[in-house]
Amino acid sequence: MKLFYRKSGQGQPLIILHGLFGQCDNWNTLAKQFAENGFEVYCVDQRNHGLSPHSDVWNYQVMSEDILELINDNQLQNVILLGHSMGGKVAMQFAVDHEQLLDKLIVVDIAPKYYSMHHQQVLEALQSVDFDKVKSRKEAEEILSKFISDFGTKQFLLKNLYWKTETELAWRFNLKVIVEQIENVGEALITNTSCTVPALFIRGEKSNYILDEDIHSIQDIFPHFELTTIADAGHWVHAEKPKEFFDFVIRFLKL
């Protein structure tokens, strides 16, 4: 699949992959910083998200192959791959499938293990927005507020609203397929081998996505890894602590 992406900067290629319900625009500020520090940044919309095509096929294997197609189309070499949450799983899958194409791997707040489905409330909220009746962002926000109290989560989701026509709003992500195949997001990494690419795993201190007990499973697959914990940050560590996040990543990239 030909993915939509925004390209900036010059130098070693750095591909950034967002998480579930995200889009490349979520990474604009950090992408600009990386571009200003000697990297050719490809900020990607993954399939069924943002401005990339929608598809009924949605799993980590095909998302990994989407990244391979992007790399081949742009004739990229010595690639750095950075992914958050769902994007981190895609990055890990790509790393074990195509290790020879990577220089370094950065995985943000996700482990290679299985995660039980825990997005029920968000999915219920999104499905409750009836665009036959909802005709403004404010109306959509009011409906989401019935299910979601966290302001940041609501704003994150609302960034996906767009005018499909002059009078009809819609979500940029493929909500139908996401709802039908949400279990795929929790799937464990598919591999029977290890990847020797240097890997940086970053977790938020307040997040429970990477636990101390997960370190052994990470090490089994990515033996040349390091784990960094950013203080006072949750799952969206790059958005909550952007300076600390950038500093840790750039140090790893400059090694």
* In a shared domain, residues 89 and 19: yes
CA distance 89 to 237: 16
**Do the beta carbons of residue 158 and residue 150 sit within 8 Å?**
no
Angle subtended at Cα 107 by Cα 104 and Cα 111, rounded to the nearest 5 degrees:
130
Last residue of a domain, one of 137, 156, 180: 180
Residues 66 and 175 both lie in one domain: no
Bridge partner list, 80: 14, 104
For the chain, which ranges sit under pLDDT 70? Answer: none
Question: Which residues partner with 104 through β-bridges?
Answer: 80
Q: Are 87 and 17 in contact (CB under 8 A)?
A: yes
The first and second tokens of residue 228, run together, are 């960094």
Same domain? 203 vs 217 = yes
Residues 17 and 98 in one domain: yes
CATH number for the domain including 213?
Answer: 3.40.50.1820
- β-partners of residue 201 are 107, 227
- Same domain, yes or no: 17 and 104: yes
Q: What does the pLDDT look like over 93-113, one tens digit per residue? A: 999 999 999 999 999 999 999
Partnered with residue 203 across adjacent β-strands are 229
Looking at the annotation, which residues are catalytic?
85, 235
pLDDT of res. 29: 97
Angle between helices 28-35 and 242-254 (to 10 degrees): 30
The count of other CB atoms within 10 Å of the CB of residue 232 is 11
Both 103 and 12 in a single domain? yes
- Say yes or no: 208 and 166 in one domain: no
The number of domains in the chain is 2
Tell me, what's the pLDDT at 97? 96
Q: Which residue has the tokens 């020879």?
A: 100
Q: Which residues contact 107 (CB under 8 A, 6 or more apart)?
A: 83, 88, 91, 92, 199, 200, 201, 202
Domain closes at, from 135, 157, 180: 180
Query: Would you tell me how many other CB atoms lie within 10 Å of the CB of residue 50?
Result: 23
The verdict on 88 and 197 lying in the same domain is yes
The residue type at 152: G
Contact yes or no for 185/177 (Cβ under 8 A): no
Same domain assignment for residues 195 and 73: yes
Structure confidence at residue 127 (pLDDT):
97
- Say how many C-beta atoms besides its own lie within 10 A of residue 130's C-beta: 10
Residues 157 and 249 grouped into a single domain: no
Q: Which of 103, 65, 97 is nearest to 81 (CA)?
A: 103
| Confidence (pTM) | 0.97
According to the model, what pLDDT value does residue 255 have?
83
Whether the Cβ atoms of residue 44 and residue 24 lie closer than 8 Å to each other: yes
C-alpha closest to that of 180 among 59, 75, 63, 85 = 59
Per-residue pLDDT at 137 = 95
Which H or E run contains 145? helix 137-145
Using DSSP's 3-state secondary structure scheme, residue 43 falls into strand
Domain with 150 in it? 120-180
d(CA 87, CA 20): 8
The model's pLDDT over 43-54, given as tens digits with 9 standing for 90+, comes to 999 999 999 999
Q: What does the pLDDT read at residue 117?
A: 86
The rounded distance, in Å, linking the Cα atoms of 105 and 253 is 9
Domain-terminating residue out of 145, 180, 215: 180
Residue 11 and residue 77 share a domain? yes
Q: State whether 243 and 166 are in the same domain.
A: no
Q: State residue 31's pLDDT score.
A: 98
Alpha-helix residue ranges (DSSP H) falling in 13-56: 28-35
